[in-house]
Amino acid sequence: MLKTRLVAVDKDYPQQQLINAAAEIIRAGGLVAFPTETVYGLGGNALDEDAAAKIYAAKGRPQDNPLIVHIQHIKELEGIVEDVPPGADELMKTFWPGPLTILFRKKPVIPSGTTAGLDTVAIRMPDHRIALELIKAAGVPIAAPSANISGKPSPTCAQDVLEDLNGKIDMILDGGTCPVGVESTVLDLSGPVPLILRPGGLPKEELEKILGHVEIDPGLSPGQRPRSPGQKYRHYAPKAHMTLVEGPVKLQIAKIIDLAGSLESSGKRVGIMATAQTRQEYPLGIVLSVGDRDAPLTISSNLFSILRKFDRLGVDEILAEGISREGLGLAVMNRLYKAAGYNIIKV
């Protein structure tokens, strides 16, 4: 078993000696977890087939689920992609660094282990100084899925990473809590209409300001075949069984109270994921507020940490309120659907 080193790094002024130590691990084929604006990533050299294999092994990640590659400057694309698809230049100029991942046709220098055998590679530039300094110091692009055991809620703080991967990776750079809290938006520009393969930290509405009409991959619907990392498999899931309730807020509350009463009467320990506006409405259960309905960023930034908190509290059942799909709400609802295993009640 590896001895995992947990290192606190100033998120605004990263200590160069710590960044250099982590970069050396990456260059040597090891694994380093690091913060981004979305979630913590589990980083390895994207040009190293063996490093990719270590990432899959540490996470228990299915081998056909490709990794996202992180860069720190647009000029790095020249060495790893064949071409830049139409529309990508303006997107990169506007939204990089930021929570947007774009698909490109890869050059052979990117091994098949990084892309799960695909001829495309998903690339983004994170909006986090520690991440950017690490990539720069490493001198190679860094492949980095979320730094958690595959299927569990993604990590938004270093302690989440330690909980899942202690003894499996070389180092964790602790840069505090991730501000966005859900993964990047994954965009495919290869077709006639731009296609979101995974909703994430950059809302569809923002993309449409640049691209015009943008569609969402029909594979995101239950029963369809997804085309993006994080969508094909059970993901973001807490230990407890989870039910998502959708509909008008008052009806959601009434249904959740009814369900909680039935579950508690059968001896179940019930957790209720409410919002700031509704948490006082529930007379039973362990009630946690995930954030403000009128400020979706507060919900996205708290979502995974709340799911992990319910795990620590040992609840048997989680009942969650749905929110509007506008803006960041689309990414939040996507994660809630997956966390609930598409166990949804519409009221």
* pLDDT tens column, 2-15: 899 999 999 999 99
Any idea which residue has 């720069």 for tokens? Answer: 136
pLDDT at 228 over 80: no
Residue 78 tokens, joined = 């020249």
4 annotated as ligand-binding: no
Q: How far is CA 55 from CA 69, 100, 190, 312, 318, in A?
A: 13, 22, 28, 26, 30
Average pLDDT over residues 174-190: 97
Quote the pLDDT of residue 225.
46
Quote the pLDDT of residue 234.
57
61 annotated as ligand-binding: yes
* pLDDT tens column, 117-156: 999 999 999 999 999 999 999 999 999 999 999 999 999 9
Over the chain, what is the mean pLDDT?
95
Please give the Cα distance from 331 to 29 (Å, whole number): 33
Quote the pLDDT of residue 222.
53
Bridge-partner residues for 101, per DSSP? 186
Cβ contacts of 177 within 8 Å, gap of 6 or more = 156, 157, 301, 305
Average pLDDT over residues 180-197: 96
Q: Residue 4 in 3-state DSSP?
A: coil
pLDDT at 213 over 60: yes
Q: Categorize the per-residue pLDDT at 38 as very low, low, confident or very high, splitting at 50, 70 and 90.
A: very high
Which H/E stretch holds residue 171?
Answer: strand 171-174
Average pLDDT over residues 86-98: 96
* pLDDT tens column, 272-303: 999 999 999 999 999 999 999 999 999 999 99
Report whether 144 contacts 42 (CB < 8 A): yes
Cβ contacts of 242 within 8 Å, gap of 6 or more = 317, 318, 319, 320, 339, 340, 341, 343
Quote the pLDDT of residue 172.
98
269 annotated as ligand-binding: no
Q: How far is CA 77 from CA 18, 104, 233, 298, in A?
A: 26, 9, 29, 33
Please give the Cα distance from 233 to 40 (Å, whole number): 19
pLDDT at 227 over 60: no
Quote the pLDDT of residue 212.
95
184 annotated as ligand-binding: yes
Put simply, whether the predicted model's pTM sits higher than 0.75 gets the answer: yes
23 annotated as ligand-binding: no
120 annotated as ligand-binding: yes
128 annotated as ligand-binding: no
Bridge-partner residues for 32, per DSSP? 43, 171
Bridge-partner residues for 317, per DSSP? 241, 270
Residue 260 Cα to chain centre, angstroms: 29
101 annotated as ligand-binding: no
* pLDDT tens column, 247-277: 999 999 999 999 999 999 999 999 999 999 9
260 annotated as ligand-binding: no
Domains of the chain: 5-220 (3.90.870.10), 241-346 (3.40.50.11030)
pLDDT at 236 over 90: no
154 annotated as ligand-binding: yes
- Listed residue (347, 43, 305, 46) closest to 180, CA to CA: 305
Max Cα–Cα distance, the chain, nearest Å = 62
